[in-house]
Structure 1
Amino acid sequence: MDRGRSATVRKRAPLEHTPPRWLRTALGVPRRYVEAPTPEPMDTPRPFPVSPPDSAWLRMENPSNPMTITGVVGFGSALSLNALRRFVGERLVRFDRFRMRIEGVGTSRPRWIPDDRFDLDHHVYEVDLPAPGGKVGLEALVSDLMSTPLSFAHSPWTFHLVHDVDHGDGTSGSAIVVRVHHVIGDGIALMHVLIHAVDEYFDAERLDGKPEVDAAPSDSPLAKAPRPSKSLLRRAGGGVASLGHLLTMRADSQTVFRQGASPQKQAAWTDPISLETVRQVGVAMGGKINDVLMSSAAGAIRRYLIDQGEPVDGVTVRMATPFNVRPLERAHELGNSFGLVFVALPVGEATAEDRLRVTKERMDAVKQTEEPAVVYAILQTIGRTPMWAHRFVVNLFEKKASGVLTNVPGPRELLHIEGAPITTLMFWVPQAGEIGLGISILSQNGSIRVGIAADVTLVKDPAVLARAFEEEFGALAAAFASEGA
């Protein structure tokens, strides 16, 4: 039997599109919002067109910035290649896009079609960890893979399995470097895939019979469900104002982060940060979890600029930040359903407290605008336009930001894949156009990790930025402790 094909698939109850409580709470999704089950796992999927928003992200692919989401799933024990192949063959490919390919990449009408040559050998690999091993070796592997575009000959995703990884947080075991093209889905959609594939939630009968996991506290913009509808007139007026604001927004300051993109990427990530401590700091200082994390990013970038001998007073460093626009009844679907807001990080503020205060003010202000919906409408439009118009719009907006910053809520409980506990969960967001910096924040099992992805021409060692983030959060925690004293 060809071991690359799932010739025998154990029959299981059809997947219910009912995520665990923590993800429903983050999205505002009710307990049951779709009654119809998914097709049987190995039914041949039907072709369908790539949606305009997905097409917009597909078209942003370029040699300097592959539109690939890269992630690490680290385990506290060993995971064999056979177990990983079983996991993928029985669980992951139940989601149609993972066994379909795109026909017509680069054309105006691409579509998803079944991959007649689907084989796990095209997607699942076992590789050696680069020297010196451990977290450093894993970062080197992630950096190398992050710099390599995915092939569109098959469905654009790969898993790379490595072993004997010391994760640097007291756990060790195997790890998977996951690569998924943005055309398959955004962060919320891919988190939904993970949750429906792990041991705890794969079996629909167990899903009904087990107590559900507690909600993960998160005010991540990407996790937020759209706000209740305003009047049509108010929304139209707000949309016009937001569009005008976006078009007249000046280009971002010409810092070290605005020196152009290159094909070579590097990745790093922080040690775990206590989610409860982040929450307590936010409450004590009048902000929310996301405000604390955004202001920590501002402080980290300020520290880095000063270390590089660059000015910070009067400097604007904007981050393009995703905001969810996915309707509640479509929360389970793959694809991309988010807009963007451009948030100026207060790198000119001298103290951590002031940076948090200004960050909160700016985040509160942007939440009252129609900017996410306007940008999503722009993405829908350029997904249909000729390529020259698409490039013009992307070039226009990429000048307004120095990086991409995204915050995705992850599971609060410890999850398992084929019996192996997931102790590390991290991802890196791709950048578009000439943007060369990405900051990704993910919560998991009571802790937060921050990932840095940067071009080597902009940031020689992204671990320096990761440490700066840890130092900045430490400064906020110290300020919180002194206020409580």
Structure 2
Amino acid sequence: MDRLSGLDASFLYLETPAQLMHVCGVIVLDASTIPGGYTYPGFRAELDRRVRDVPEFTRKLRRVPLGLDHPIWVQDKHFDIDHHVHRLALPSPGGYAELVELTSHLAGLPLDRSRPLWEMWVIEGYHADDGRERVVVFSKMHHATVDGVSGSNLVSHLCSLEPDADPMAEAEERRHAREPGHRELFGRSVVSMVTRPLNAVRLVTPSVELVTKTVGRARAGTAMAAPFSAPRTSFNGTITGHRVIALADMDLEDVRQIKNATGTTVNDVVLAVAGGALRGYLEDRDELPASSLLATVPVSVREESRHSSGANKVSALFAKLGTDTDDPLERLRDLAERNKHAKEHHSAISADSLQDWAEFAAPRTFGLAVRAYAGFKLPERHPVVHNLVISNVPGPPIPLYFMGALIEGLYPLGPVFHGAGLNVTVMSNNGSVHVGLIACQESLPDIEDLVQRFPAELKALKKAVAAQTKPTPIKRKRTAASGAGS
């Protein structure tokens, strides 16, 4: 029986018509590399062939009787690729503005829970800045099915190192788990419900010890930033189901040069750039808070986790973005120091703590609580938990081909939440850093202005680093022996 973990299931319980829990991606393709040329029927047929033997693409949810336990995954015996892959064309002139308008609309549509929880739209007629036509794939997959790492692994089933090569990851010899009967499923759920309090007792002592250690770190000034300490901005309230997307690109070599020159990390540089972009955006709108914005940064614990099952194996740390600091280099240095403490603090927390506690999420109670939380507009009444989510996903350092088409752009987009209506995700790909922003449309209507500040802020940071590391010319003193021509 393939039961969802508590953390996987929590993404189902958190979902409402306004708070959609799927992750999206905008994949820009040069279809001229496809052997034999691009046709939509051929593209769809190849996609169908590659996903057929991958359970994550062909399984669907089955609820447990009376909601006594988390749902299970079962094989969709009537799987049809036409329910998941759709064809669209951009209206004239088919540029960037039309692309983000269409993908923003698609991002606001919920997935059909009666089928496997993924969809792709093949968008034709996109004309890039060089005037050449591209094919764009807009993908959507529920967070109950993937996190950042497992999502990348799934993409490997669809990509290859050469246009006519086999996928990087061939489908494993895996079968769908046996589907239990109604009585067996009910019995297992009752046992799980009865033993759940005993498991909770085992988590109490480690959790109390963690709180004690956190208090000690806070007194010593080495704790990560605390939730509920974020300043309020215009994108920290109750969200709607409308989405808006913006995309930008940065040079990965610039990021690496800054990292090497300052002794920081790629993640430090990304967060500092985001902090500078947000500072400029809010300052121009007379909305800049006196204290720094606070971001939730997802962290993969896949290598440390003791759990073998579950798609989501993540934790999170809180990071101040230095939006209260004007100088970009000073912001990076301060942020790097705080991140060092945050990572040390995070490493002291059990890798499975979030997954373990998520097992106690009750389907009905959780869902009702989320709806009440939004209905009473509670995000606008209590202190702000965090301002936004920022993810940094390492991508392929070499060219990849999606169904034979060269990937030119790979922009991941995460979910947004009540109280934090902006999500920033960056992903490296073959020498570029692709920046994907998604937000609640009503909370951040001018998202394009914000995303364009990312490459500009990286340029400003690179300039500041260069000025700091530039050697000072040595002035030679004139002596009596020095002649006018020396």
TM over 0.5: yes
Q: Which amino acid aligns with 1:269?
A: L
Aligned equivalent of 1:122: 83
Task: Choose the corresponding residue for 2:300, options 324, 337, 361.
Answer: 324
Task: Choose the corresponding residue for 2:322, options 346, 370, 380.
Answer: 346
Aligned equivalent of 2:247: 269
Task: Choose the corresponding residue for 2:450, options 465, 469, 475.
Answer: 465
Structure 1: state its 5+ residue gaps: 1-46, 208-232
**Is 1:451 the equivalent of 2:436?**
yes
Moved more, 300-309 or 386-395: 386-395
Paired with 1:104 and 1:380, the residues of 2 have a C-alpha distance of: 21
The change in CA–CA distance for 1:239 and 1:451 in structure 2 (over 3 A counts) is same
Aligned equivalent of 1:220: none
1:267-310 CA-partner distances (Å, limit 9, x unpaired): 00113x11111110121123111111100000111011111111
The change in CA–CA distance for 1:340 and 1:278 in structure 2 (over 3 A counts) is same
Summarize the alignment of residues 378-389 of structure 1 with structure 2, pairs less than 5 Å apart. 378-386=354-362, 387-388=364-365
Aligned equivalent of 2:271: 294
Aligned equivalent of 1:285: 262
Paired with 2:367 and 2:330, the residues of 1 have a C-alpha distance of: 39
Q: Which amino acid aligns with 1:385?
A: A
**Is 1:99 the equivalent of 2:58?**
yes
Q: Which amino acid aligns with 1:445?
A: N
1:305-327 CA-partner distances (Å, limit 9, x unpaired): 11111133x32311111011112
Asked if the contact 1:382–1:389 (Cα under 8 Å) also holds between the matched residues in 2, the reply is no
Moved more, 133-142 or 175-184: 133-142
**Is 1:260 the equivalent of 2:245?**
no
Q: Match of 1:421, SS?
A: strand
Moved more, 102-111 or 142-151: 102-111
Aligned equivalent of 1:54: 8
Paired with 1:290 and 1:205, the residues of 2 have a C-alpha distance of: 27
1:30-59 CA-partner distances (Å, limit 9, x unpaired): xxxxxxxxxxxxxxxxx5111111011221
Q: Match of 1:282, SS?
A: helix
The change in CA–CA distance for 1:171 and 1:150 in structure 2 (over 3 A counts) is same
| Count of residue pairs brought into register by the alignment | 412
Aligned equivalent of 1:306: 283
Q: Match of 2:52, SS?
A: helix
Q: 1:461, CA displacement in angstroms?
A: 1.9
Structure 2: state its 5+ residue gaps: 33-37, 172-204, 219-223, 471-486
1:111-156 CA-partner distances (Å, limit 9, x unpaired): 1111122101110100121444122221111100111111101001
Paired with 1:389 and 1:156, the residues of 2 have a C-alpha distance of: 20
**Is 1:157 the equivalent of 2:118?**
yes
Aligned equivalent of 2:426: 441
The change in CA–CA distance for 1:331 and 1:56 in structure 2 (over 3 A counts) is closer
RMSD: 3.2
Paired with 2:143 and 2:100, the residues of 1 have a C-alpha distance of: 21
1:231-266 CA-partner distances (Å, limit 9, x unpaired): xx9998456534997997434211112132111110
1:46-89 CA-partner distances (Å, limit 9, x unpaired): x5111111011221111112011110111112542223323322
Summarize the alignment of residues 17-416 of structure 1 with structure 2, pairs less than 5 Å apart. 47-77=1-31, 79-104=38-63, 107=67, 108-168=69-129, 172-200=133-161, 202=166, 237-238=209-210, 240-242=212-214, 249-271=227-249, 273-312=250-289, 314-327=290-303, 335-370=311-346, 373=349, 377-386=353-362, 387-388=364-365, 399-416=384-401
Paired with 1:149 and 1:169, the residues of 2 have a C-alpha distance of: 34
Q: Match of 1:258, SS?
A: coil
Paired with 1:412 and 1:103, the residues of 2 have a C-alpha distance of: 39
Q: Match of 1:174, SS?
A: strand
Paired with 2:368 and 2:170, the residues of 1 have a C-alpha distance of: 48
Paired with 1:235 and 1:103, the residues of 2 have a C-alpha distance of: 32
Asked if the contact 2:228–2:383 (Cα under 8 Å) also holds between the matched residues in 1, the reply is no
The change in CA–CA distance for 1:120 and 1:373 in structure 2 (over 3 A counts) is farther
